[in-house]
């Protein structure tokens, strides 16, 4: 990781990140493109504007402390993606997927926000997921805590227009607020045990749990299988995943998901 301090900004020169590929690939739902080269977003109570110019990423008006304590972790800056992608290049499909969007990185998101977001994601599409979460945050002025959401009912959340998912989010809020599911504790558990804990929540099945394990807990062995990844498996890997992804399947999934979803649109 290499960076410079420029006036009030942090300019990241290494590693390479593509902001559009990373912030708008469907792993996080709250980043907003506010100009040609700039996004705004949050991690818990930290607000960030971040720009990409001439291949460099600029953390606008950001202290070195916040950069090192919050954003370096959030953007997974210490992981060696060049090394990971070199391993993936043994597989022709993954080689194409990495070439298609080489600047994707895993975002290590807040686990509670991640849990709620992916409960809303089920049987839904990305623009609509963003709309629901945007209405939720506008309503509270921030992403609501579990305690705040535990006071809601499906009726009081009807403004979200989130359909049958509202009751699941309320169940998650209740279980997290009363300690029945302890996300901090889950984070420290091994993959399988953490997954079983998350699946105590109504509306959290294997796929949503894997998304929280990957995007919220940064457990890169998680392998969320949605409709797109099912198609990937049928089309490219009928006999199972290639050896070169074992251990970091979650990161491979980011590249593959983005690749096939855009192939479909073209």
C-beta of 120: minimal distance to DNA in Å?
A: 9
Query: Which class for 6: exposed (0-12), middle (13-18), buried (19 or more C-beta within 10 A)?
Result: exposed
| Residue 122 CB contacts under 8 Å (≥ 6 apart), including other chains | 165, 203, 205, 207, 208
Cβ closest to DNA, residue 21 vs residue 89: 21
Cβ closest to DNA, residue 78 vs residue 123: 123
Cβ closest to DNA, residue 27 vs residue 62: 27
C-beta of 77: minimal distance to DNA in Å?
A: 20
Q: Where are the alpha helices (DSSP H) in 110-239?
A: 111-121, 126-140, 146-150, 166-177, 183-188, 191-198, 206-211, 227-236
C-beta of 127: minimal distance to DNA in Å?
A: 6
Binding site for DNA (CB under 7 A): 25-27, 121-128, 158, 161-164, 199, 201-209, 211, 224, 226-229, 253-254, 257, 261
Cβ closest to DNA, residue 44 vs residue 227: 227
Q: Please tell me the distance from the alpha carbon of residue 148 to that of residue 154, in angstroms, as a whole number.
A: 14
Half-sphere exposure of 178 (CA within 13 A, CB side): 9
């Amino acid at each position: 990781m290499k960076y410079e301090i420029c006036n009030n900004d942090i300019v990241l020169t290494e590693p390479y990140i593509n902001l559009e590929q990373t912030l708008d690939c469907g792993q996080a739902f709250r980043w907003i493109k506010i100009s040609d080269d700039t996004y705004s977003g949050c991690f818990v109570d930290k607000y960030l504007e971040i720009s990409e110019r001439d291949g460099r990423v600029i953390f606008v008006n950001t202290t070195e402390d916040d950069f090192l304590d919050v954003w370096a972790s959030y953007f997974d800056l210490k992981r060696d993606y060049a090394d990971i992608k070199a391993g993936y290049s043994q597989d022709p499909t993954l080689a194409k997927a990495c070439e298609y969007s080489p600047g994707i990185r895993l975002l290590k998101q807040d686990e509670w926000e991640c849990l709620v977001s992916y409960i809303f994601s089920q049987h839904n599409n990305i623009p609509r997921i963003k709309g629901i979460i945007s209405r939720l945050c506008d309503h509270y002025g921030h992403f609501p805590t579990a305690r705040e959401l535990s006071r809601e009912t499906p009726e009081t959340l009807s403004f979200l227009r989130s359909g049958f998912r509202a009751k699941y989010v309320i169940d998650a809020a209740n279980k997290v607020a009363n300690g029945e599911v302890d996300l901090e504790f889950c984070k420290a558990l091994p993959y399988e045990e953490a997954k079983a804990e998350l699946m105590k929540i109504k509306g959290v099945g294997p796929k949503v749990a894997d998304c929280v394990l990957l995007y919220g807990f940064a457990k890169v062995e998680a392998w969320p299988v949605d409709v797109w990844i099912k198609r990937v498996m049928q089309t490219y890997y009928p006999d199972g995943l290639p050896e070169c992804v074992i251990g970091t399947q979650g990161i491979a999934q980011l590249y593959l998901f983005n690749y096939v979803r855009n192939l479909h649109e073209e």
